[in-house]
Structures are given as C-alpha cells and as structure tokens.
C-alpha cells in the first residue's frame, strides 16, 4: 500500500466515514408513504411513542384509561409536561426527541409545543420522508408488514406503486403465537385451516405465506417470541416453524428473523408500552441452526444477559446473522457494550444496529446516537490495528463500514449455505 492513514488521523477518519456511510435500516415499523396515515410522523407521534408513554406513567397519577381515552394532542401535552417541563429529559427516549428537533433546526429553548406543532403542520409525508432519510443518512427502510393488520391488508390487496426506498418484511406472529385463534382468521379469508394442526392446515398456511411473500415482495419472514420459546417441542408454534415456516423460507431463499425475549403484556394497562423482557434459553436457537443448515436465521435478543451467548452461537453457525440493539438494549451504555462484544467476537460479520423506528422522524436520532457510538468503538479498534503496525487506507475502512451498515446483511440474505 502506497500511503496509509497517519496514526494521529485514524480516529477522525473512522468517525468521518461512519458519519457519511448510508445505512440500510433493516427493521422498522415505518411504512411506504403510500400507506397514508399508517406512516406516523411529527411532534405528537414523537411524544406519544410507547417508550415515552412507559416513562411518563412513572409520574402520572391519572388512571390509565383516562390517558388512553384522551386525544393524541392531549396525551402529547401530558407527556411533554411530565418528561420535558417538570423535570429534565435525560432518558434516551427523551433525549432522542431533542436530538431530532435539533437536527431539524427547530429551536426548543422556548419549550413552545404549539409552535413546534405549527412547524410540522406545514409538511407533507412525501417531502418529509425524503428530508428525514437525508438527515439520518438512511438509504432504505425495511417495514414490518402484517397481513393480519386490518388497516394494512386492504392497501396491499388494492395494490399501489412502491416507493423503492421501502422494503417489506412479512410478520407472522399471530400464526406462531396463537394458532387456534389465527386458524379461524385465516379460514375467514379463504384458507382452509382448522384449529387442529393437520396436514391440510399446514398446506394452507404455506399457501398463505406464499401469497403474501409474493404480494409484498418480502425480504424476510419475521416473528418475535417469548423467553420460554423452545424448539423442537410438542406444540403448535414449533410444528408450524418446522413444517411451514422453514420450508417456505428455504423455497424462497428467505431468512427467518427471530426477535427473542419479549415478555408480552407484563402490564396490559400500558397497552403497547406494557411488554417486558426475560432471558431466553438460546438452546432453542442452537437447535434450529444445527438442524436446518439450509435455513438462514436473522436474530436479535432482548435480554442483555443473552448477548454474549448469542455471539458465541454465531461463531459456530454461519447460517446465523446477529443484528441490532433492540428496544430496551437501544440505550448508549448497552449499544456500546454490545457493539464491542460483537466486533471482538464476530469481526465485521454482523449488522450492529437497526432503528425499530415507529415514527419517521425517529430515524434521525436513533441513527445519530448509534453512529456516534459505533464510530467511537470502531475508531478504537482501528487505532489498535494501527498501533500494531497494520497500515490502514480510507477505502478499506469505507468498505468495512459499508458492510456493517447493510452490506453484510445483503451478503447473508443472498448467500446459499
Ligand atoms: O421496539 C418496539 O417498538 C416494540 O414495540 C416491538 O414492536 C418490537 O420492536 C417488535 O418488532 O416486536
Ligand atoms: Zn420492532
């Protein structure tokens, strides 16, 4: 190599590359603007994000039902008052709102919520999508698409012109989590399924996956499962994975994405904000990876205690790709720790982050905050390489960062075992 980066410039160069590299955001709850009101954005949506609802209820003394019965602007006013006015907004989700407003060049010093609302009211979803994606440096967004969602399903059925920045992922939780109930919903929309999982039901659920994979042009099939998920096992969930999901994924060359460790509805009164976390038994994942080498598994785990074990599993199975710092792990302290753990155990064969944004504007802060941490961790790693005599070039570092921000995910998804 002719001229490498001088050791004193390594950190600055790495952080600059991380700041500029476009990102493929591989899991969000955002929608192609063609879905109209399903794509959430703006100050009231930012403030009523369920992460903030959970935090505000630490201080509210009103009954849960009073909060839920109120209009969204009222809910946002209450949250703003408790989390931003009565005390300083230091939690990660609160700080995220401020980072977003700041990057949008809005002045929050006056704490004038009506004025902020008036600014957002001037935009349309289409122009605002481009603005947020540019500010976040995000080039593509993967949605979470559920054929069981009564608002989403008709849009797919009717058809629309796709915005090619938005990709689809087929979300199948109802099938795996509550087959007895879901078999009835499937029967109601023309699939000959029954609560007893017989051969006919399996064939029909595969036809359902087939139809929706094609309709959405889905990039992967996804589910989130509780900490007690076990496999193989004598229950409908395990049978459906074995006989329907995995053969479907193999036939279509699609990864199966597993998000493990959510304890559903620990406090149902909090609704979407009411889920918790538990440590998963990753033996189930080991069994899946070992028994199905021709399937690809994209995995993130919610419990901090599972992170090291997940990395070790990924060292053993090349059909396992680790991604993202999900939900309660998406806080600076844990992102830092998980990113180090992953890079030290798995090198560049991971996707360190996804945004999980539910509100478009959130991609700005989620990526801003994560880029800072990933940039810092990588800078240290490259400085260590430079200190051991390895010469670094800008183009090689650019190549590496590109792979962390989507390239490695693409390779994994496209590769045959
Ligand atoms: O992070 C979240 O917003 C959670 O509510 C979940 O939706 C989670 O990300 C999931 O995809 O299950
Ligand atoms: Zn999610």
Check pLDDT > 80 for residue 415: no
pLDDT, one tens digit per residue, over 134-160 is: 999 999 999 999 999 999 999 999 999
| Extended beta strands in 108-151, E state | 138-142
Nearest C-alpha to atom 2 of ligand 1 is from which residue? 327
Q: pLDDT category, 1, cuts 50, 70, 90? A: low
Q: What is the pLDDT of residue 3?
A: 73
Round to whole Å and give the CA distance between 135 and 100: 9
Q: How far apart are CA 262 and CA 250, in angstroms?
A: 26
CB burial of residue 127 (10 Å; 0-12, 13-18, 19+):
exposed
Q: Tell me: the pLDDT tens digits for 285-315?
A: 999 999 999 999 999 999 999 999 999 999 9
pLDDT in tens, 154-177: 999 999 999 999 999 999 999 999
CA distance 348 to 317: 15
Distance 359 CA to ligand 1 centre (A): 12
Residue 228 in this model has a pLDDT that exceeds 80 = yes
d(Cα 217, Cα 209) in Å, to the nearest integer?
Answer: 11
- Is residue 44 over pLDDT 80? yes
Over residues 192-221, the pLDDT tens digits come to: 999 999 999 999 999 999 999 999 999 999
Alpha-carbon span 200 to 205, nearest angstrom: 9
- Atom index in ligand 1 nearest the CA of residue 224 equals 12
Give the strand order in the sheet containing 297-301.
Answer: 23-25, 138-142, 166-171, 218-225, 256-260, 297-301, 320-322
- The residue contributing the CA closest to ligand 1 atom 1 is 327
- Model confidence at 416: pLDDT above 50: no
Mean confidence (pLDDT) of the chain: 97
Termini Cα distance of the chain: 34
Å from CA of 327 to ligand 2 middle: 8
From ligand 1's centre to the CA of 340, what distance in Å?
Answer: 24
CA–CA distance, 338 with 353 (Å, rounded to integer): 10
Ligand nearest to C-alpha 223: 1
Nearest CA to ligand 1 atom 10: 224
Atom 5 of ligand 1, residue of closest alpha carbon: 272
For residue 25, give the ligand nearest its CA: 2
Q: What is the pLDDT of residue 2?
A: 58
Q: Which of 271, 326, 329, 359 to mutate to test the pocket of ligand 1 (most atoms within 8 A of CB)?
A: 326
Distance 180 CA to ligand 1 centre (A): 23
Segment 94-102 mean pLDDT = 98
Q: How far is the CA of 50 from the centre of ligand 1 (A)?
A: 10
Ligand 1 atom closest to the CA of 358, numbered from 1: 3
Residue of 148, 224, 325, 329 with the most ligand 1 atoms within 8 Å of its CB, for mutation: 224
**Residue 43 confidence class, pLDDT cut points 50, 70, 90:** very high
């Amino acid at each position: 190599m002719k001229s490498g980066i001088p050791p004193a410039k390594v950190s600055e160069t790495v952080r600059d590359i991380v700041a500029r590299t476009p990102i493929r955001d591989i899991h969000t709850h955002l929608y192609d603007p063609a879905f109209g009101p399903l794509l959430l954005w703006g100050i009231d949506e930012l403030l009523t994000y369920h992460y903030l609802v959970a935090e505000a209820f630490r201080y509210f003394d009103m009954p849960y039902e009073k909060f839920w019965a109120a209009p969204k602007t009222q809910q946002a006013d209450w949250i703003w008052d408790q989390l931003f006015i009565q005390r300083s907004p230091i939690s990660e989700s609160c700080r995220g709102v401020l980072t977003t407003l700041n990057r949008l060049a809005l002045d929050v010093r006056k704490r004038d919520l009506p004025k902020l609302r008036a600014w957002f009211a001037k935009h349309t979803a289409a122009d605002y999508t481009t603005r947020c994606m540019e500010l976040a440096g995000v080039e593509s967004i993967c949605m979470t698409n559920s054929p069981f969602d009564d608002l989403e399903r008709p849009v797919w059925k009717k058809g629309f012109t796709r915005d090619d920045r938005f990709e689809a992922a087929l979300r199948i939780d109802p099938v795996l989590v509550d087959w007895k109930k879901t078999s009835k919903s499937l029967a109601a929309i023309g699939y000959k399924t029954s609560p007893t999982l017989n051969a006919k039901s399996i064939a029909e659920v595969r036809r359902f996956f087939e139809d929706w994979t094609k309709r959405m042009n889905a990039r992967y099939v996804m589910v989130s499962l509780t900490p007690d998920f076990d496999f193989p096992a004598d229950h409908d969930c395990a049978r459906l994975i074995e006989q329907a999901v995995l053969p479907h994924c193999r036939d279509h060359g699609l990864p199966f994405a597993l998000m493990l460790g959510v304890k559903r509805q620990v406090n149902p009164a909090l609704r979407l904000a009411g889920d918790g976390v538990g440590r998963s038994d990753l033996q189930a994942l080991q069994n899946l990876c070992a028994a199905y080498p021709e399937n690809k598994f994209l995995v993130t785990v919610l419990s901090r205690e599972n992170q090291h074990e997940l990395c070790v599993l990924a060292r053993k199975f090349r059909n396992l790709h680790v991604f993202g710092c999900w939900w309660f792990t998406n806080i600076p302290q844990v992102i830092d720790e998980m990113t180090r753990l992953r890079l030290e155990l798995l090198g560049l064969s991971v996707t360190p982050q996804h945004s999980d944004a539910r509100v478009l504007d959130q991609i700005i802060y989620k990526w801003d905050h994560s880029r800072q941490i990933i940039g810092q961790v990588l800078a240290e790693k490259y400085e260590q390489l430079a200190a051991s005599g390895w010469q670094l070039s800008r183009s090689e570092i650019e190549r590496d960062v590109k792979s962390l921000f989507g390239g490695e995910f693409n390779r994994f998804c496209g590769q045959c075992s």
